[in-house]
Amino acid sequence: MKALQWVLAKPVVGMPSSSNFSLAETDLPSPTEQKVLVEIRYHTVAPGIRARIGADTYAAKIEVGEIIPGMGVGIVLESASVLFEPGDLVVGQLAWATHAIVAASDINRIGTQHLKDLPLHTALGTMGPSGLTAYFGLTDVLAIQPGETVVISSAAGSVGSAAGQIAKILGCHVIGIAGGKEKCRDLIEIYGFDDSLDYRDSKSLARELNAKAPEGIDAYFDNVGGEISDAVIQNMKLFGRIAICGQTSEYNQREPRGCRQMTSVITRRLTLQGFVVFDFRDQFDRALEHIREWVLSGALQDSPNILSGIDLAVDGFVSQFSESSAGRLLVKIGEAGQGW
């Protein structure tokens, strides 16, 4: 089985570029030892993978010559595991590739009852890791309540846009922070946020947040860290809660900037909690039942920017760190439709 796979060609220092990656053709053997061969239909190029290119995070560092991993959805072609058989639809940690051999423990069979009448790509969006991250960050980590004011950073991204919509569904007043007028307009017109802020066009994000939330912010879903999070912290209410999901502003820094508002954290008695969606693995079915209802009703939109072809994966990834970012991105491999 021939496959095209993106590998790390040289270390990334600072901002990533296409020269850091190489698209290689390889012959894949039949899987052995509880591994599975998957034909990939869609995969993510999430900016969070940058944290693993250069350092260990909650997952292992990606070394030069290794395949770039990414959440994906695909079809099992061959299996050396009793857990899967050819034809199974699966989602999990796959790769920036057309095909990949992965450990059975890294993927899950997709329950067709959850995806019935939905596009396959929703398994990586609202019905997948992005939607689940948003759901548990809001309901379990932040424990938001109707009537609260919630701020979402990187609000036009896959997780952020889902988080803002779910917060609205749960009765909150939602403010999204994004980069660019078009994204901020989409937050309101497509995703139903109450208000938005363009951090690129801001002279003082802290003052502008104060004007939009004069009584303070109850809960903050943090995807970026850095100066944006410092501005939000200055506007939190006493005993406000912060869910730390990502730190995209830090990933390309040689020296982490860190939070510069820790005194405000103390004086406002804030609670900060980092989390990873797989902390809630045993509750996924419960969440997906709710999310499916919202998607089918139209209350929760899932509209990624889909790039067709494995050759576009790296350009798409790199674009997310520039002002020309195209927003939520997925890479489509081959034919993938309602029939799968």
What digits encode the pLDDT tens for the residues 62-113?
899 999 999 999 999 999 999 999 999 999 899 999 999 999 999 988 876 7
For residue 37, give both structure tokens. Answer: 């061969």
Distance CA 336, CA 44 (A): 15
Give the pLDDT of residue 49: 82
φ and ψ of 210, to 5 deg:
-60, -40
Domains and CATH numbers, the chain: 2-125+304-332 (3.90.180.10), 130-278 (3.40.50.720)
- Residue 136: phi and psi, rounded to 5, are -75, -30
Residues 290-333 pLDDT 10s: 999 999 999 999 888 899 999 999 999 888 777 556 567 899 99
d(C-alpha 152, C-alpha 164), whole Å = 7
Highest mean pLDDT among 52-61, 101-110, 253-262 belongs to: 101-110
The whole model's pTM is what? Answer: 0.80
Q: Considering only CA atoms, which of 177, 151, 163 is closest in space to residue 237?
A: 151
C-alpha to C-alpha distance for 333 and 98, rounded to whole angstroms = 6
CA dist., res. 161 & res. 166, Å (int): 9
**For residue range 22-34, what is the model confidence (pLDDT) as tens digits?**
999 999 999 999 9
Please tell me the distance from the alpha carbon of residue 300 to that of residue 339, in angstroms, as a whole number. 22
The token duo for 340 is 């799968």
Tokens of 272: 């900060």
pLDDT of residue 321: 76
Q: Is the pLDDT of residue 227 over 80?
A: yes
